[in-house]
Amino acid sequence: MSAATDGELRDERTLRTSPLRKLLARPELGSVVGALAVLVFFALAADGFLRAASLSTVLYASSTIGIMAVPVALLMIGGEFDLSAGVLVTSSALISSMFSYQTTANTWVGVGVSLLVTLAIGAFNGFVLTRTRLPSFIVTLGTFLMLTGMNLGFTKLIDGTVSTKTIADMEGFPSAHAVFASTLTLGGVDVRVTVLWWFALVALGSWILLRTRAGNWIFAVGGNQDAARAVGVPVARTKIALYTGVAFGAWVSGQHLLFSFDAVQSGEGVGNELIYIIAAVIGGCLITGGYGSAVGSAVGALLFGMTSKGIVFAEWNPDWFKFFLGAMLLLATLLNAWVRKRAEATK
């Protein structure tokens, strides 16, 4: 057999991959380019945007979105999405607050009960989805409506108003505030603890996707669940776990909401689920599943934070924010599609 023939038969997985091909294959490439462009734009348009205090504010705004964007991105890579994610954050905070207040228990008891109930709601979404084979749009829209009504109904029934009572004077509040809502000083710059939660979830999500069998299952289920099931991937278990992951992110965000203000408005969170999905899509996730990264969702959340705060620093009318958000979504999606085509062309 000739050397040429032998080379032609060699498995392509053993061939060396060029740095350019590796770069073009990264799902978050388009969002990184967009983030750099937005950073330069607001650095020129807004005085003081690059100051340490301003960047700290941007990171905080990004982290409140990014904490949820990571599990939402993993869910989208798995081929599904969750319309109840926004109100689930509020539900988590309400459960923690009302349980602690009504039982006069240590606030950590309410935090623990909230974790169990929130995870159960996430698992319920995944269970109904896998058992009924209904689209995730229908299942999670139903959960969204039920939670929205329950948040308002139970808060009025138990507390008599649309907001919970303050729990700032209850036992355990200071330590819970330190875990979920404190401000740290790092190098002379104030950094909210949510930024650390965000970074930790990005690292965990990246590790799951790139270094574990579960990550392979997520990509397989999102790419073609029937083919994945045929080769032994536990499709139902994977999807239930992904919805439970979204619930965990909602629990973290909900506790931050509660311990930042010591009371919660029952109508908060409606519409935020779209922001989480937008951050994931800007970061390179496909609506159809099977493609994306946790790092990309973080960049998408960072874009959201830079835009929302950059408009303020530039002293523009904040009414334009939604316009910029929509423009970023379209441009990032187009850029991501172009990057994918270039990556496929270099194979």
DSSP string, 72-87: HHHHHHTT---TTHHH
The token pair that represents 322 in the structure block: 């939604």
Instruction: Compute the Cα dihedral for 138, 143, 146, 152 and give only its sign.
Output: negative
Measured at the CA of 25, the angle between CA 23 and CA 29, to 5 degrees, comes to: 60
pLDDT confidence bin for 24, thresholds 50/70/90: low
Is 60 exceeded by the pLDDT of residue 85? yes
Distance CA 56, CA 186 (A): 11
Task: Say if residue 146 is exposed, middle or buried (CB neighbours under 10 Å; 0-12, 13-18, 19+).
Answer: middle
Global pTM reads: 0.89
Distance CA 76, CA 336 (A): 16
Lowest mean per-residue pLDDT among 64-68, 75-79, 252-256, 263-267: 263-267
The pLDDT assigned to 328 comes to 75
Is 50 exceeded by the pLDDT of residue 11? no
The pLDDT assigned to 41 comes to 87
Cβ(189)–Cβ(197) under 8 Å? no
Q: How many C-beta atoms surround the C-beta of residue 134 within 10 A?
A: 13
Is 90 exceeded by the pLDDT of residue 90? yes
Output the CA torsion 245→232→280→92 (10° steps).
-20
Instruction: Compute the Cα dihedral for 16, 223, 239, 206 and give only its sign.
Output: positive
The pLDDT assigned to 345 comes to 63
pLDDT confidence bin for 22, thresholds 50/70/90: low
Instruction: Compute CA distances 110 → 40, 93, 212, 310, 317, whole Å.
Output: 44, 9, 33, 37, 40
Q: How many C-beta atoms surround the C-beta of residue 37 within 10 A?
A: 14
pLDDT, one tens digit per residue, over 271-327 is: 899 999 989 988 888 888 888 899 999 999 998 899 888 888 888 887 777 787 788
Count how many residues are written for the chain: 347
269: left (phi over 0), alpha (psi -120 to 50) or beta: left
Distance CA 330, CA 281 (A): 10
pLDDT, one tens digit per residue, over 186-235 is: 887 899 999 999 999 999 999 999 999 999 999 999 999 999 999 999 99
Per DSSP bridges, beta strands 189-192 and 183-186 are antiparallel
Average pLDDT of the chain to the nearest whole number: 88
Q: Which ranges constitute the DSSP H helices of 160-192?
A: 173-180
